Chain A
Amino acid sequence: MKCKRIRNYMEEYLDGAITGTKKNEFDKHLKDCTDCRKFLLERQRLGEMLSGSLKKISSNQELSPELLKSASTLAEKVRFKPQRPRIPWLQPMVPWPKFAALWFLPLIALVLGIFLLQNNHHKNYVSDLHEPSQVSYLKLTTTHFVGTSPDNWIMKRVYVQTNNGEEGFLTLELTKEM
């Protein structure tokens, strides 16, 4: 056995959980390897000191008598709920998981995602006019085919004139059917 393995199982060895041939191997290794022996001794010593110190600290600590006395009032404070009789046919086949509501989160995220993605297509023009929403009269002068967008929409660049005399380019995104 290698030192690393020995040290890994040191706690089990101290518990006496290692028996039989493995224990013999362990003992043999500890006999031969000074480093591991030192490691074991140090661990034992630390354990003893920790155990001793913790017990020494706690030996002086007693629960205050008032708290002990309060046990009776504590008992009165607690109201016992009578156990509800269980009706087997009302119990669900599979117990309702603790965080069942969380299961709906991905579903909600998916629906929201689809909605947002679709919403993107509502924007069907890009304009360099100041107030494109107020365009009520379009005078098409020249039309340039720009290209197709990634989702197969045809993009056309159109020069327009509005009713308030403004002129500018509009980029239209049109479906193939249009």
Chain B
Amino acid sequence: MMKNDLQDCDRQALEALFEEFGGKIYKSAIFLADSREEAEDIVQETFMRAFRSIHKFNGRSTLYTWLYRIFLNVTHDLRRKKYIHEKFLSKYRIEEYTDPVEDLINDLDKDTFTQSLQDALKRQKLKHREIIVLRFFEDLKLEEIAERLNISIGTVKSRLHIALKKIKKSIGNIEQFANTND
């Protein structure tokens, strides 16, 4: 029903889609992007792509899963572009003026664990970060992660293992935080 609505290019349906999933995707985007602006760009690009190719949605997965896949693709594309851009800048030694980026989570009361978790996440590779987000933020099972990322369960497990190991290493003793949290 929803699919037919969308295929008729019903503007209202598109807006409804954005309103329903925009916020949800944005919440994942803040963990995978470097700044608030980047996260907003990612969300916008995700929905642009989704609108453009809505006729390709075949209803085999849920609409959210389909959008999430597009969102992850957009994130990876953006990272790739950024990497190439940085490489270009460093090759020709061009100094780029950058605004001091405001911290994403600066308006929060930062407890020590959140702070160190944030630092740890920033240092992770995108492929490990997205596993952490899918596993602990989206609360997905291994199979679901594998399906969403289009990789094998073994790969999910190894990436998760590495990501958790890195987080453990950078936040140090968990017990210390656990006691303060309780």
Contacts and interface: CB of A to CB of B under 8 A. Distances in A.
Interface of A: 11-12, 15, 17, 42-43, 45-47, 49-58, 60-64, 67-68, 70-72, 74-78, 80-81, 83
A54 B137 contact: yes
A74 B143 CA distance: 34
Contact of A78 (B22, B43, B48, B139): B48
Contact of B15 (A53, A55, A72): A72
Contacts of A68: 18-19, 22
Interface residues of B, number: 45
Contacts of B160: 11
A61 B22 CA distance: 12
A15 B144 CA distance: 11
A67 B36 CA distance: 12
Given A46-B164, A74-B51, A78-B52, 12 more contacts: A11-B142, A46-B174, A50-B117, A54-B132, A58-B31, A61-B26, A61-B27, A63-B22, A63-B23, A67-B40, A80-B9, A81-B52
A53 B40 contact: no
B162 interface: no
B83 interface: no
A49 B179 CA distance: 11
Given A42-B174, A63-B23, A58 B137 contact: yes
A60 B107 contact: yes
A109 to B, nearest CB: 27
A47 B141 CA distance: 13
